[in-house]
Amino acid sequence: MTIYEFDIINRSGSTYTDVVISWAQDTDLGNWQDDYIGCDTVHNVGFSYNGDSIDEPNSLVPNFGNYPPITGNVILSGPIAPPGDLIDNNHNGVIDESGEEILLSGFHGINNVISSPVGSLISPRDYYNAQRGYWKDSLPVTSGGSGYGGTIPTTFLFPGNPFDTAQWNEASAGINPNDRFIILNCGSATMNPGDTIHFSIATFVVQDSSLLWGTQAYYDQIPQGCSKIRNWHENNSWPGCGALFD
């Protein structure tokens, strides 16, 4: 696990509205040609996992073979939510509590090997669209299928449990695994002159050779990892498992 913390300061004399903070990651789990992605809004996490049971060899990088890991990115802190917005911004089941933070407000992912509207991000406009839940051609992400061309807009791509074929995930949508790129969004917020937004996120990897790929226990590593990290964060009780760099 690695933790990243940022203080974003408005040192100008201008007020900025609709500020969105994003964490972009090209996950590349060993052989990047067989990856899937998804998110869990309850735990404010975006994740990547192998699309099949074996992470096959790739001539350019080491592979994980029969024990593919899962990598997750869990947002731990974000901007203060606007008071009275009637949104559960931190997904804890409570609306408009005092000091509520905006955590995972959207999850976007693209197929990194194609250049269509659902493919690689190139221009600043492409990234700005992804931050707000739109594809490169400015059409909204929609619920179901590949997330493109549907009728119900959403800001969360593939939010379903990967084990549950009745929920919306890449496997249930019939999408072939391949190279993926993810963006976790956190916003929107207003920054007045002198304001500071503290943003922190933890990236973690879980790998357990005793768990079979594709089982519920295998995917349960995602919420279990998030719960551990959030508990450590909220209680400032990080385990002494390695060097700490500030």
pLDDT tens per residue across span 8-67:
999 999 999 999 999 999 989 999 999 999 999 999 999 999 999 999 988 788 899 999
CA distance 26 to 71: 11
State the average pLDDT for the chain: 93
CA distance 163 to 56: 21
Find the radius of gyration of the CA atoms of the chain. Answer: 18
CA distance 6 to 51: 32
The pTM for the full model equals 0.93
- Structure confidence at residue 239 (pLDDT): 77
SS3 of residue 69 by DSSP: coil
What's the pLDDT tens digit per position in 107-162? 999 998 878 899 999 999 999 999 999 999 999 999 999 999 999 999 999 999 99
Joined together, the tokens standing for residue 159 give: 């939010």
Q: How confident is the model at residue 190 (pLDDT cuts 50, 70, 90)?
A: very high
In one letter, which amino acid is 20? V
CA distance 180 to 142: 18
